[in-house]
């Protein structure tokens, strides 16, 4: 079982969010790899649609797609971000924007995501909800989230550990969260129709759809 921890704090090893996320990762008892977005060069999406024509390709030659490939190779993904103005940090949003092919082709189907958020004030629900929404939009199910006020993050270590265990169990048992599964089915229908409409333009996404998704 492979787990990828994506840390979106700019504070490196000092990040409280990363510490909490490592507790989630530890509890999965799986093989964990870690990516710190602040150490990478990830540029803004230019909306050129190239990645829809040639999948897993982009004219920007930076580190975005190496992270996206790691996501594809994982069974579970831990998205860890501080709350910045009730949103994920800029580097994580930038990575998400670069992953629009994942949304069109539900590339994270069958995978599970856990969310980890810390903040100064503790009002983290909107950020966790956004992580869940992103996971579902990419076809993944969301095992749950843990959040903490930075000054008391250690109090949430037990919850983080529970979340890690749940993530591992979901992967092993291929759990189905019915409400999320229904949403993913709806999204699949929507993007299937969109790609059918644009099939002459988004050639490789159309081919992927035909081969991998049409029969599911």
For ligand FMN, the binding residues (CB under 6 A) are: 9, 11, 15-18, 82-86, 118-121, 123, 150
Label each residue of 62-127 as H, E or C. Answer: CCHHHHHHHHHHCCEEEEEEECECCECCHHHHHHHHCCHHHHHCCCCCCCEEEEEEEECCCCCHHH
CA-derived radius of gyration, the chain: 17
Secondary structure letter of residue 37 according to DSSP: G
Please identify, using beta-carbon distances, which residue of 80 and 168 lies nearer to ligand FMN: 80
The DSSP element (H or E) to which 55 belongs, if any, is: none
CB of 87 to ligand FMN, least distance (A): 8
CB 216 within 8 A of CB 167: no
CB of 44 to ligand FMN, least distance (A): 18
CB 9 within 8 A of CB 84: no
CB of 164 to ligand FMN, least distance (A): 18
Please identify, using beta-carbon distances, which residue of 74 and 83 lies nearer to ligand FMN: 83
Please identify, using beta-carbon distances, which residue of 65 and 157 lies nearer to ligand FMN: 157
CB of 150 to ligand FMN, least distance (A): 3
3-class DSSP state of 149:
strand
CB of 149 to ligand FMN, least distance (A): 8
Please identify, using beta-carbon distances, which residue of 14 and 216 lies nearer to ligand FMN: 14
* Phi, psi angle pair for 184, to nearest 5°: -65, -40
Please identify, using beta-carbon distances, which residue of 121 and 178 lies nearer to ligand FMN: 121
């Amino acid at each position: 079982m492979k787990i990828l921890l994506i840390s979106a704090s700019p504070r490196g090893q000092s990040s409280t969010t990363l510490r909490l996320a490592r507790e989630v990762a530890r509890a999965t008892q799986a093989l964990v790899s870690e990516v710190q977005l602040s150490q990478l060069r990830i540029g803004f999406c230019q909306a050129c649609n190239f990645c829809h024509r040639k999948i897993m390709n982009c004219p920007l030659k930076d580190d975005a797609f190496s992270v996206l490939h790691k996501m594809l190779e994982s069974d579970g993904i831990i998205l860890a971000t501080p709350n910045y103005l009730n949103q994920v940090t800029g580097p994580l949003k930038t990575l998400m924007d670069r992953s629009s092919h994942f949304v069109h082709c539900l590339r994270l189907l069958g995978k599970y995501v856990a969310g980890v958020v810390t903040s100064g004030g503790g009002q983290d629900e909107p950020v966790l909800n956004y992580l869940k929404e992103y996971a579902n939009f990419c076809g993944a199910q969301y095992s749950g989230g843990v959040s903490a006020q930075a000054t008391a993050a250690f109090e949430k270590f037990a919850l983080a550990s529970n979340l890690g265990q749940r993530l591992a169990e979901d992967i092993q048992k291929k759990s189905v969260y019915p409400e999320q599964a229904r949403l993913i089915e709806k999204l699949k229908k929507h993007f299937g129709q969109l790609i059918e409409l644009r099939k002459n333009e988004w050639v490789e996404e159309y081919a992927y759809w035909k081969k991998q998704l049409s029969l599911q």
